[in-house]
Structure 1
Amino acid sequence: MNRQPIGVFDSGIGGLSVLQALQAALPLEHFVYLDDSLHAPYGERDDAHVVDRSRAITAYLRQTHGIKALVIACNTATMAAVALLRAEHPDLPIVGVEPGLKPAAAASHTKRVGVIGTRGTVTSAKFNALRLGLQEQAEFIVQPCDGLADAISRSVETQDDLKVIALCAEYTCAMGRFGLNSGDIDTLVLGCTHYVFAQAHLARLVGPQVRILSTGEPVARRTQFLLEQAGALNRTGPGRVALITTGDPAVLQAAARRWLGFATDDAVRWVV
């Protein structure tokens, strides 16, 4: 079992940011990354669609690739489906991602925290429960970013970030003032794994003093902990990565080369 891969999936290429953190923490492990771009964007679809896709992908990764753990590298899918998947697969360690509101509240000095995410994530019941549970620790300025995840994905094909930059500017401007003074937003939470690949643009817009938090490293630590508990860590590497997509393999290949430095043309198309 130790040499079985870890499954990672997202509605597109954004989950590559989580895969990057997982590889850094677990360099001996094998991974299967599945990009469900044919059925994206999850963040602008209803919960039933996201749950159906999450169940189908989990079944495929278990039956075809024999995964020993699953990482849901998508905030929207985590919010909609993680509890159901854990109930249906009690023998499978499952790690989800969620916006880092708690560490952001703890880190903020002005106690005004910005959160950007897909509409599906920031309007979900789970997200609102998380936010309400922390409302005495900080004020959260929440901004749904329609179209941003899709624009980041498309920038791989076009090699043009102008649309990404424009949307980042529009949404950060709508949130108010960023900085370290009283009333400023001094911490920005990335509530979508795609947004990590726009972090440089966001940092220029909000300023160098604003802390930007993503979820890749905490997810990697949690995955490592669960595998250690199960005695399922691979000790004999080197680790390998298989790339699978329901969309265009060339787009996934290009994203892996651009953002992860992969020298590969081995993405496989899977349709279901």
Structure 2
Amino acid sequence: MTATTSQAPIGIFDSGVGGLSVLAALREAMPAEDFVYVADSGNAPYGDQEPEFIEARAFAVFEFLLKMGARAVVIACNTATAVAVHRLRAAFAVPIVAMEPAIKPAVAMSRSRVVGVLATSRTLESPAVAQLCRVYGAGARILLQPCPGLVERIEAGDLEGESTRSLLRRYITPLLAEGADTLVLGCTHYPFLTPQIRAIAGPEVQVIEPSAAVARQLKRLMAENSDAAESGARGRVQFFTSGRTDAVQAVITALWRQPVDVQRLPCSGGESGAAESKA
């Protein structure tokens, strides 16, 4: 994977399988590219972890992707972005594309000027989200709704069960009662629940997430650096996980809608001292 730059893959990682929603958008926008996807499911959900742990995992996974030859990395996780992106960019020279909740476009779209943001607790508590609300929230009410338990349901492959629907009703109904007409999916896992979210919210409520915007940003970045893969054969995707490979493979196969082979991530534990070593 190191013969030429344009043949090297693009790395993408998430706390688990949620980043597949971003990977799908990347594949749509850049079909000739090879990707290496890491689901850090053995340490999910990041939203319940301490910042130091999340940063250590981000560094460990990032270093693995670089060993795999990644010439750019997409952090397909809002929580990892909020906690670790600044130190990752300071430590590594490769281009990094990261996630943030789509608060800016949501405020622009909202007719009621009330926007609900569904995300993990750690994402919503981050300075990055506070900054987005300050910069783009003038004249609007931005309701931040933590959603504990949702990531775990999706990691288990339970997209339509009553437990998942009950959690969604618990988190969405209060936002609707406050007049929210736009919902931001601030976790890359949540797009897999879009049909259920729309069923609860109703047809008048807009539901947005930033996967397509992330794909456009990466494509522009590759083009600006003259680093895009040549068009031709469809690129391949390699999958790795820190979780149980059989369980994660079953979930990814269901979400990806085709059989996949998931390999064990070498840096699977939470014991990495990568974050400390970068201090």
- Could you say which TM-score interval applies, normalised by the shorter chain? over 0.9
Partner letter of residue 255 of structure 2?
Answer: W
TM-score in terms of structure 1 length:
0.93
Deviation at 1:208, TM superposition (A): 1.1
Does the residue aligned with 2:169 lie in a helix, a strand or coil? helix
Alignment match, 1:252: 248
Runs of 4+ in 1 over 3 A off after TM superposition: none
Alignment match, 1:120: 122
Does the residue aligned with 1:262 lie in a helix, a strand or coil? coil
Deviation at 1:160, TM superposition (A): 5.8
* Counterpart pick for 2:238 among 238, 242, 253: 242
Q: Is 1:173 the counterpart of 2:169 in the alignment? A: no
Contact 1:188–1:211 (CA<8 Å) still a contact in 2? Answer: yes
Alignment match, 1:225: 220
Provide Cα deviations, 1:41-69, integer angstroms capped at 9, x if missing partner.
Answer: 10111111111000111111101x10011
Q: Which runs of 5+ in 1 are unaligned?
A: 178-182
How many angstroms apart in 1 are the aligned matches of 2:139 and 2:253?
40
How many angstroms apart in 1 are the aligned matches of 2:119 and 2:73?
22
Provide Cα deviations, 1:93-139, integer angstroms capped at 9, x if missing partner.
Answer: 10001100000011111111010100000011111111122221421
Deviation at 1:159, TM superposition (A): 7.5
Q: Which runs of 5+ in 2 are unaligned?
A: 268-279
Alignment match, 2:101: 99
RMSD value, Cα: 1.4
How many angstroms apart in 1 are the aligned matches of 2:129 and 2:169?
24
Provide Cα deviations, 1:141-161, integer angstroms capped at 9, x if missing partner.
Answer: 11001111111111x2x6862
Does the residue aligned with 1:193 lie in a helix, a strand or coil? coil
How many angstroms apart in 2 are the aligned matches of 1:263 and 1:39?
24
Partner letter of residue 257 of structure 2?
Answer: G
* Counterpart pick for 2:85 among 75, 82, 88: 82
* Counterpart pick for 1:6 among 6, 10, 17: 10
Contact 2:238–2:262 (CA<8 Å) still a contact in 1? Answer: yes
Does the residue aligned with 2:86 lie in a helix, a strand or coil? helix
Deviation at 1:168, TM superposition (A): 0.3
TM-score in terms of structure 2 length:
0.90
Alignment match, 2:274: none
How many angstroms apart in 2 are the aligned matches of 1:142 and 1:24?
30
Provide Cα deviations, 1:159-215, integer angstroms capped at 9, x if missing partner.
Answer: 8622111100111123242xxxxx621100000000011111110001011110011
How many angstroms apart in 1 are the aligned matches of 2:226 and 2:258?
29
